Amino acid sequence: MRGGPPEATVTIDDQLAGSLDIVAARGVALLPGQHRISVEAPGYVPFDRIIEAKDAPVRLEVQLVPIPD
């Protein structure tokens, strides 16, 4: 998982995985099946998606969009 802002919080299946920069650096092992990925940061529109993990690595690019004034 890559993207920004780097301090955004990543949650996988309602479990905190860490900040986006940490998750991007170390990766996360997922069992095969569906998983809910959420990325949030103050002042940005949240990202929330259901992904299907298989035996191959899942690559996800998340670039949060600032909330308009």
pLDDT tens per residue across span 43-56: 999 999 999 998 77
The answer to pTM > 0.75 is yes
pLDDT tens-digit readout, 12-52: 999 999 999 999 999 888 999 999 999 999 999 999 999 99
Residue 16 is predicted with a pLDDT of: 96
Helices then strands, each counted (H, E), the chain: 1, 8
Between CA 58 and CA 56 the distance in angstroms is 6
Residue 5 is predicted with a pLDDT of: 94
